[in-house]
Amino acid sequence: MIGIMGGRYWALWRLRVAVIVFIGLPATACTGENPGANDNQNQGAVCGNGLVEADEICDGSDLAGGTCQSLGWSGGILSCQPGCQQYDTSGCNHEAVCGNDLIEPPEICDGSSLLDTTCAELGFYSGTLACLTDCTGFDTSDCAEHCGDGVINGSEVCDGTDFGDDTCQSHDFYSGNLSCSTDCQVIDDASCVGTCGDGVINGTEVCDGTDFGDDTCQSHGFYTGNLSCSTDCQVIVVSSCAGYCGDGAVNGSEVCDGMNFDGDSCQVRGFYTGSLSCLASCQVIDDSGCDGLCGDGVMDSPEACDGTDFRGDSCQHHGFYSGSLSCSTDCQVIDDLGCSEFCGDGVINGPETCEGGTGGAVCTSIGQGYTGGVLTCNTNCWWGTSSCTFDPTPITWISIPGGSFEMGSAAAGQVDEQPVHTVSVASFELTKTEVTVTQYAACVNDGGACTVPSTSTFWCNWADPGYEDHPVNCVSWYQAVDFCAWVGGRLLSESEWEYAARSRGLDIHYPWGDSAPTCTYAVMHELGFGYGCGMDRTWPVCSKAAGNTSQGLCDMAGNVHEWVADWYHSDYIGAPVDGSPWLIPAGSRRVIRGGNYHFGGPALRAAVREDYLPGGGLGDIGFRCAR
């Protein structure tokens, strides 16, 4: 730095000497006045007379005050050249003296004499400039911070490889290197590469212009359209894509979308009710939510049958005694060609008691309690007993005044006993007892108005001597309906039954109150006694008077279950609240109530519900009638 600046400061030094020479001349040199001259000032100058006159610079020993030092020399003897117009400096000292604070050729500076030069003038931003000890240049060791020192200082925006916090990344590029201008004022990012908007995916970009990598509308689950890229290259925008699984429209290869099945339905598929559902891929229609299909083995409306489900129909209901019904392939026709043995075939079959004549039998010999009269054979192959004399046990009816009650049980009940709901029941009459074998026999003997109960098991009471006053059992729901119609009544509704079993809807658990069930109150299963209180069968009706209701109804808990008119539902949601039976089927089973001789404890509660197929009959199911 000092060597480079020497030429410049030598020129400055020569300019300084010229100025000193000029301003150091006595004023008389300019004005022509001579302070030592006599009063004859208007006469011409005489060079050599030792006096400076007119335009003379010096004259002999008269140097007009000039010295070697005043002319910038370090010392010596000044004299005047001949002609008096110029100093003679040959006697002045020509060698500079470094250290006298005077800048003398060829000195650049001397001590504190720096020709007003500063660190800033030399390109530094701060510090104190000094002169080298040999006066050959400036000492910048105390100057600081300049362009090129590799550190950003002053007004610099960069210096060498120092860019502060700037990087190619902060200039929105992904890689490369910045460079700095020679004056440290400009950061050049020409060597940076990869930026959002250059149309090529770089760095952390997910897209750039029309470059989406392997992404397409199709890879995003759409069928058509074009992707677009956000201005920051970070988001692939699918708003211009169209048609996707889940938009509710059947598009592309879809077979369904949401609730759109393109015309398909449960009914189109042969079902009667229900709803289709579309799987998440929109490629599969699921018909598991459809219900009621011809061929599923369950008879649904409007089917007349389905497979082997005839909803209680049988060859017997078609007038046959044996065989099997069959169902047409469209579930609309019940075919009884597989049935056999019927009244009129000339052979006593099944439940027939006669075929075309009495065969010598008389009223008193048929074992049904007749005392006399004339026996005939009816056209339905049953004994004609209309001319026989008979004194059946009379039926006693109990009046049940109407009212409202809370049906069901929340605390102790099962799911099918809920929700508890208010039911209003009209007044009605109910048979005091479960219908007995003797009472049912009167209907059978009345020209076959009722069909003969089953005797397929040990527990069936029909035609079993000594059980005439027991509940008739092993009867189907249909046989119960027929008998109640014969006596001018009907099967009671489920709500009527519970209302009566609770002594007109009282908040009690059992017909007799809340005392725990024992064989004192009901024909039941009690530990220490066994089934049927030790008999493992029914007892005569009204054997447990302590268990009667407040109105005098017998056996409302135990002995046999009792058919009621309702179809069975798994809960009470939607159940009638006016005391009428629930006649809308929810399956293929009817309600039975009251428990039986196999039941014990809480199973005998008045709110407990059971169910069974209406075409069947068991040794623990009977009935009573209402009107």
The reported pLDDT for the residue numbered 356 is 86
| pTM for the structure as a whole | 0.43
pLDDT of residue 175 exceeding 90, the answer is no
CB atoms < 10 A from the CB of 231, how many?
A: 8
Cα–Cα distance between 327 and 335 in angstroms, integer? 6
How does strand 561-567 pair with strand 621-622? parallel
Q: Which of 24-38, 156-170, 399-413, 497-511 has the lowest mean pLDDT?
A: 24-38
More confidently predicted of 516 and 411: 516
Tens-place pLDDT, residues 314-351 = 887 787 878 899 999 999 999 999 999 888 888 888 66
Q: Over the stretch 603-627, which tens digit does the pLDDT of each residue have?
A: 999 999 999 999 999 999 999 999 9
* Helix segments in 25-56, DSSP class H: 27-31
Q: How far is residue 468's CA from residue 472's CA, in Å, rounded to a whole number?
A: 8
595 band by pLDDT with thresholds 50, 70 and 90: very high
**Can you tell me the mean pLDDT for 36-42?**
40
Instruction: Report in angstroms the alpha-carbon separations of 239 from 213, 220, 242, 247, 253.
Output: 18, 11, 8, 13, 21
pLDDT band at 387 (very low <50, low <70, confident <90, very high): confident
User: In this structure, what token pair is assigned to residue 294?
Assistant: 């011809």
Percentage, residues of the chain above pLDDT 90: 60
* 542 token code pair: 């009204």
- Residue 13 in contact with residue 103, Cβ under 8 Å? yes
363 exposure class (CB count in 10 Å sphere: 0-12, 13-18, 19+): buried
Of 112-116, 150-154, 488-492, where does the model show the most confidence? 488-492
Determine which of 5-19, 50-64, 87-101 has the lowest per-residue pLDDT on average.
5-19
Q: Which residue has the higher pLDDT, 182 or 387?
A: 182
Are the beta carbons of 240 and 264 closer than 8 angstroms? no
Which pLDDT score, from 0 to 100, does residue 17 have?
38
Is residue 353 very low, low, confident or very high in pLDDT (cuts 50, 70, 90)? confident
Q: Which two tokens stand for residue 386?
A: 């209309």
Going 596 to 598 to 602 to 608, the CA torsion angle's sign is: negative
pLDDT at 236: 95
Q: Give the pLDDT of residue 627.
A: 96
Whether residue 13 has pLDDT greater than 70: no
41-76 tens-digit pLDDT: 445 789 999 999 989 999 999 999 999 888 877 788
What's the CA dihedral at 471, 472, 474, 477 to 10 degrees?
-100
Q: What is the pLDDT of residue 490?
A: 97
- Full DSSP string of 72-116: T-SSB--EE-TTSSSEE-TTB--S--TTSS---TT-S-BTTB-TT
| Rg of the chain in Å (alpha carbons) | 65
Q: Which is nearest to 391 in space by CA: 365, 376, 375, 371?
A: 371
Residue 338 pLDDT: 93
User: 302: burial class by Cβ within 10 Å (0-12, 13-18, 19+)?
Assistant: exposed
Residues in the chain: 627
Cis, peptide link before residue 471, omega less than 30° from 0: no
Q: Mind listing the pLDDT tens digit for each residue in 504-560? A: 999 999 999 999 999 999 999 998 888 999 889 999 999 999 999 999 999 999 999
Given a cut of 50, is residue 29 above it in pLDDT?
no
> Could you check whether the bond before residue 576 is cis, i.e. omega within 30 degrees of 0?
no
CA 227 – CA 235 distance, rounded (Å): 10
Over the chain, what is the mean pLDDT? 87
| Helix pair angle (437-444, 477-486), 10° resolution | 80
| Residue 232 token pair | 């920051």
Q: What is the pLDDT of residues 242-288, one digit of tens each?
A: 989 989 999 888 999 999 999 999 999 988 899 999 998 899 999 99
Residue 392, pLDDT score = 55
Q: Are 461 and 544 in contact (CB under 8 A)?
A: no
Spatial distance between the Cα atoms of 64 and 66, rounded to a whole number of angstroms: 6
Distance CA 481, CA 405 (A): 26
Mean pLDDT of 209-238: 92
